[in-house]
Chains A and B, each alone.
Chain A
Amino acid sequence: MSELKFVITGTAGVGKTTAIAAISDIPPVSTDAETTDELRELKQATTVAFDFGEVIVNEDTRVRIYGTPGQDRFRHMWEILSEGALGLVILVDDSRPDPIADLDIYVSNFKQLIDETGLVVGVTRTEVTQNQEFSPYYEYLESNDIFCPVMAVDPRRREDMADVMDALMAVVEYA
């Protein structure tokens, strides 16, 4: 049995916990705490350690998926969860004021993992922005010497997350 470890990161409220719950074949593990800061306007609880789910690809392969906390005060968890990971998904909320700046936070902090493994960028809430044009994302990534898929994703939809995972496995396989 081979086990792959992937990490999902991105801003608080982007849908990491939801994405893992959507795709996991086991009951997901979440570590939430009640929000006490400005994030309360957005959601009542926030991840403080990690989310965990598992995807059974076939008899021989399982993908273990870890979701990070979004806020940078939990950077210690970003470092811990990156250990041994074989790929990274960054979810970016397209409806936020500056999604490229959001993406930059996670690209900068996970640069070593990205360089050593693979990356897929999932763009969320495009149903709100009606944006299907991801050139700014590609331009930002290329300016950082990163060449990876950028795809629209609804974290609530298992099919969307399965596409993201397939893309990441392909990136990692041919890296």
Chain B
Amino acid sequence: MAEKKEIVLKKSVVVQHLKSLLSVSDSIYGVVLSTLDGHAVSSLFEGDHEDSKLAAMTSSCLALGEKIAVEVKQKGCDFVIIQNQDGYVAIKKIGTRLVVTALAHTSINLGMLLSSTQNMASRLADEISV
């Protein structure tokens, strides 16, 4: 059996990273950190959202993205972008165990959303060594 490594996340550190992503733009209105198997770890929202359901759905979505990539002989899917009439949902894998999901209005520049989410994910991954 493969060795299991516990990830210990300090809440203040996680919240600090979530806040940093929220502060990039007024158009980013929600951030959720969750496990790859669909449990919410922490979240910050402007408005009323349920992070537990969103965490499970992002887990499914990321897994599906990975399988679609494999089907067309691509690999390493760690970013899924859902563009819709009201905005964007950016789902970014962090290491092998975590996922960050950013919610943004259409007013944001998509490239800015993606790079900000990527940067936040990288910083968090470095800090907690996942």
Contact = CB atoms under 8 A, between A and B. Distances in A.
B60 A74 contact: yes
Contact of A73 (B56, B66, B96): B56
Overall SS of chain A's interface: mixed
B36 A33 contact: yes
Given A29-B67, A36-B97, A44-B1, A76 B56 contact: yes
A36 B59 contact: no
Contacts of B2: 44
B25 to A, nearest CB: 28
B97 A34 contact: yes
B66 A31 contact: yes
B41 to A, nearest CB: 9
Q: Which of A35, A46, A48 has most B Cβ within 10 Å?
A: A48
B1 A31 contact: no
A77 interface: yes
B63 A49 contact: yes
A77 B57 CA distance: 8
Q: Interface on chain B toward A: helix, strand, loop, or mixed SS?
A: helix
Contacts of B4: 40
Interface residues of B, number: 22
B78 to A, nearest CB: 13
B60 A48 contact: yes
Given A31-B67, A36-B97, A40-B4, A76 B60 contact: yes
Contacts of A83: none
Interface string A59-73: 000000000010101
A37 interface: yes
Contacts of A32: 63
Nearest to B66: A31
A36 B60 contact: no
Interface string A107-124: 000000000000000000
Nearest to B1: A44
Contacts of B37: 33-37, 46, 48
Contacts of A69: 60
Contact of A33 (B1, B52, B57, B59): B59
B60 to A, nearest CB: 4
Contacts of B36: 33-34, 36, 48
5 contacts: A34-B37, A40-B4, A49-B60, A49-B67, A74-B38
Kindly list the 4 A-B residue pairs having the minimum CB-CB distance in the complex, ordered from nearest.
A31-B63, A49-B60, A73-B56, A33-B37
